[in-house]
Amino acid sequence: MSELLSVILFIASIVIYSLKAGRNTWWFAATLVVLGLFVILNITLYASDYFTGDGINDAVIYTLTNSLAGAGVSKYLLPGAGLIAALVLVFGALAWVLRRRRHRPYHFGYSLLALVMALASVDASPAFRQISELVKSQSRDGDPDFVAYYKEPKKVIDNPTLNLVYIYGESLERTYFDDQAFPGLTPELGALKNEGIDFSHTAQLPGTDYTIAGMVASQCGIPLFAPFEGNASASMSSFFPQNICLGDILKNSGYENHFVQGASLRFAGKDVFLKSHGFDHLYGADELKSVVADPHYRNDWGFYDDTVLDQAWQKFEALSKEGKRFSLFTLTVDTHHPDGFVSRSCERKRYDIDGKANQSFSAVTCSQQHIAAFINKIKDSPYFKNTVIVVSSDHLAMNNTAWKYLNQQDRNNLFFVLRGDKPQQEVMAVKRNTMDNGATVLDILGGDNFIGLGRSSLSGDSLSTVFLNMKEKVLAWKPDVIRLWNFPREIKDFTIDQEKQTIAFSGSKFRLPLLLRVSDKRVEPLPESEYSAPLRYQLADFAPRDNFIWIDRCYKMARLWSSQWALSTDWCVSQGQLGGEQKIVHVDKPKWQGKAAFRDTVIDTLRYQGNVDMLKTVDNDIRYKADSFVFNVAGAPEEVKSFSGISRPESWGRWSNAQLDKEVKIEYNQPLPEKFELVITAKAFGPNANQPIPVRVGDSEQTLTLGNDVTTTTLHFDNPSRSNTLVIVPPAPQETNEGNILGHSPRKLGIGMVDIKVVKSEG
């Protein structure tokens, strides 16, 4: 009903303004902005629902405010482009319609009525209501009975005897295993499920409905509700730091914890979560590419399930032979939304429903075959007798091409256990949820039968049986769960750990670099990631009186407030206000102690604007004082007018990048000397090593030869034409992701430059 009302108000606002309001620039702009907000909100709702099937929820907020590195986006490019095109057309059409009667005299009453209706249409829209509810849920008091039901387990298992293999099947819910609904879809894994303890009623709750959330729920016994204000969860160097999770208990009990998956570990902060809770051995897309048989055999997200599970088997076999106590967790990806991927080694590559092939079902029948083959290898090995195998879905399938068929069934998550020590065949229909998974596993291994809000389904009562509406109860506990992040509200003293690249204050740790906006009752962390703006651009959006603490490489802030560090890649700390005083301090100890100190100063508007302008200067336009081109910092020396064909700064220098320009070209402000020496410190990439590299200045050309290691070469140039341009032409640029930022397009690397210096020759 509210959706229909919002649409009626939207249309009424357009009609009233276009027919009655008349000409006025302010009212036109205000009405267009509000109506445009209505359009954006509804497109956001549509796009979110495409992914989640549940509109704008915590999964959307968490994913957008955390690391998107390694996300498989190619299948979403066309829909995304369509949405952007539709948005541009709608805005254009709105502007045209609203201005059709602009020759009419301005009418205040109708203008106000149109704007009020536009605001009412936004307020009545389901998208605005969902976002408002998410924001409100972050600041509520919570439920006082949370402490009664949240239980912290003992940190060790006494005398553990069993190894653990835990398999997360991406979106591989139990519904797929209904042979009457989907005959012949899961014969191999379904047969194994029927041999073990099958928990048939594992529900999905809020905050457990996407991969990282499902992992947190199953290992820590809590839903993943994160403080998304200021991207807090994305910037923290630990993940639910106060919680004792399954991985912590295993590590404390002498287990060596391993995690293997085909996608990037950085996506959604899985690496931070696992490292925070007992996992020291992590293998994702980057770690596997040097060990798999075919590193080019990949799908949009990473390596196919056959590759990943083969690596998991090799890891299982090696650890078992070494006689270690271990856990091995693995996560598949081939069944990922929107329609999955079918690997080349599957025996069944197609599943038909309603007389035609369905890609999601095809991916399911393929992936379950690989999981079953992996399990059978373990069962056939001499090590199974000391092993517990757990198979679970990470969450219910999202809005994929099997969605309508799944929604016709009673949907539950998959969770079954195969015990090598005590074979047991049983279907347990007890009411439970995915937060109970870790507690059930811990119980089997000899530990407590509870973790957080989870209870063992073998010897305890799930909270899903205690509360009539567990979904409502979990949402009531949301503020209590968020407080488990131990998110700080103040900063006084802080410690920077250079080795770990973290800052610690008020009991929390955050990754560097970091920008903090500090007020009396609030500390807002602003991290720098692959998909967020550099910190200096974020700082440029601060108000003149906003207190800030900025921890970053010295050269990024030095040209504003302390030029002596303009070429330093060390860590520096800057704090103050953009419109008042700022100071920079060099971090000169491995563990450096600092204090937050802000003074009320007179705000200078001109100073503020100057700082903002300098912060917004693009990297290639930055200039510094130096007698050579130093490539491991942004910008160039003052003598350089422009440059091209050069990639971003890295800790050692910069690569040439033929994706930007096939040549490295450096144009100086003044003509180069008639005679000079060019001193180049550089290295070559791949096939460019030991190849002649032309270096030109005007009509003069010399040949540079580089190896794979950094060397310094001096070239002698005569420049009678007084050219001001230096050109280097790498002979064989190679397309690669070497050293690339995850999620960015491959670069074409040729040579890696550390330093270039022009030295005038005498005579």
C-alpha dist (Å) from residue 758 to 300, 645, 722, 724: 46, 19, 14, 11
Q: Is the peptide bond before 338 cis (omega within 30 degrees of 0)?
A: yes
What tokens were used for 288?
């596997």
Residues of the chain with CATH 3.40.720.10: 163-344+367-397+411-483
Comparing CA positions, the residue from 664, 629, 667 lying closest to residue 645 is: 664
Show the 3-state SS of 186-232: CHHHHHHHCCCEEECCEECCCCCCCHHHHHHHHHHCCCCCCCCHHHH
378-387, 504-513, 620-629, range with the lowest pLDDT: 504-513
Confidence of residue 90 (pLDDT cuts 50, 70, 90): low
Prediction pTM value: 0.72
Dump pLDDT digits (tens) for 162-220: 999 999 999 999 999 999 999 999 999 999 999 999 999 999 999 998 899 999 999 99
Residue 241 has pLDDT above 70, yes or no: yes
Mean pLDDT of 111-121: 78
- Selection from 204, 245, 209, 211 nearest residue 434 by Cα: 204
To which H or E segment does residue 7 belong? helix 2-16
Q: Which of 29-38, 489-498, 622-631 has the lowest mean pLDDT?
A: 29-38
Q: At what angle do helices 554-561 and 605-615 cross, to 10 degrees?
A: 150
Spatial separation of the C-alpha atoms in residues 328 and 313, rounded to whole Å: 10
Q: Which helix H or strand E contains 680, and what residues bound it?
A: strand 675-684
Answer for the pair 601, 578: CB distance below 8 angstroms, yes or no.
no
For CATH 2.60.120.1360, list the domain ranges present in the chain: 623-760
Helix (H) or strand (E) holding 76: helix 74-98
Alpha-carbon distances of 190 from 173, 180, 222, rounded to whole Å: 12, 13, 28
* Residues near 720 by beta carbon (within 8 Å), at least 6 away in sequence: 674, 698
Q: What is the pLDDT of residues 672-699, one digit of tens each?
A: 999 999 999 999 999 999 999 999 999 9
pLDDT value, residue 97: 58
User: How many helices and strands in the chain, by DSSP H and E?
Assistant: 23, 36
Q: What are phi and psi of 482, to 5 degrees?
A: -60, -35
CATH C-level class of 623-760: mainly beta
Q: Please state the rounded mean pLDDT for residues 641-648.
A: 95
Encode burial over 576-585: b for 16+ CB neighbours within 10 A, e otherwise: bbbbbebebe
Looking at residue 325, its amino acid is: R
Give every CB contact of residue 263 below 8 A, 6+ residues apart in sequence: 70, 72, 284, 285, 301, 302, 331, 333
Q: Is pLDDT above 80 for 13?
A: no
Can you tell me the distance from the alpha carbon of 352 to that of 359, in angstroms, rounded to the nearest whole number? 9
CA distance 186 to 196: 16
Tell me the two tokens of residue 737. 């992701």
Confirm if 451 and 438 have CB atoms less than 8 A apart: yes
**CA angle 581–586–589, rounded 5-degree value:** 140
Where does residue 211 fall: left (phi above 0), alpha (psi -120 to 50 degrees), or beta otherwise?
Answer: alpha
pLDDT at residue 337, as a whole number: 82
pLDDT above 90 coverage of the chain, percent: 61
Provide the pLDDT confidence category of residue 72 given band limits of 50, 70 and 90.
very low
Q: Which of 14-28, 111-125, 465-479: highest mean pLDDT?
A: 465-479
The pLDDT of residue 230 is 43
Q: What angle do CA 708, 714, 718 make, to 5 degrees?
A: 135
pLDDT tens figures, 462-507 = 999 999 999 999 999 998 998 888 778 889 999 999 998 999 998 8
Chain centroid offset of residue 614 CA = 29
What does the alpha-carbon distance between residue 261 and residue 331 come to, in Å, rounded to a whole number?
A: 5
- pLDDT tens column, 716-734: 999 999 999 999 999 999 9
Reported as type and span, the H/E element at residue 728 is strand 725-728
Alpha helices in 520-602 (DSSP H): 535-539, 554-561
Query: Which of the listed CATH numbers 3.40.720.10, 1.10.10.410, 3.90.1310.10, 2.30.40.10 matches domain 163-344+367-397+411-483?
Result: 3.40.720.10
Average pLDDT of the residues of the chain: 87
Q: Identify whether the C-beta of residue 305 lies closer than 8 Å to the C-beta of residue 286.
A: no
How far apart, in whole angstroms, are the C-alpha atoms of residue 89 and residue 743? 29
| pLDDT reported for residue 579 | 92
Confirm if 398 and 76 have CB atoms less than 8 A apart.
no
Query: What is the structure's pLDDT at 94?
Result: 58
Average the pLDDT over 12-22 and give the result.
71
- Asked if 747 and 657 count as a contact pair (C-beta separation under 8 A), the reply is yes
pLDDT for res 36:
75
CA end-to-end span of the chain: 87
pLDDT of residue 751: 96
Please tell me the predicted confidence (pLDDT) of residue 125: 79
Q: How far apart are CA 644 and CA 657, in angstroms?
A: 9
Convert the pLDDT of each residue in 398-425 to its tens digit.
888 898 999 999 999 999 999 999 999 9
Say how far residue 134 (Cα) sits from the centre of its chain. Answer: 20
Calpha distance 258→329 (Å, rounded): 6
pLDDT of residue 70: 46
Residue 231 above 50 pLDDT?
no
Mean pLDDT score, 82-93? 62
pLDDT value for 232: 47
For 28-55, what is the mean pLDDT? 73
- Cα–Cα distance measured from residue 303 to residue 744, given in angstroms and rounded to the nearest whole number: 18
Collect all residues with Cβ–Cβ distance below 8 Å to 26 and sequence separation of at least 6. none
**pLDDT digits 0-9 by tens, 335-368:** 998 889 999 999 888 999 998 999 999 999 999 9
Q: Is the peptide bond before 206 cis (omega within 30 degrees of 0)?
A: no
Spatial distance between the Cα atoms of 422 and 70, rounded to a whole number of angstroms: 40
Q: In this predicted model, which residue has the larger pLDDT, 163 or 98?
A: 163
> Is pLDDT larger for residue 625 or for residue 232?
625
Query: How is residue 424 written in tokens?
Result: 């047991």
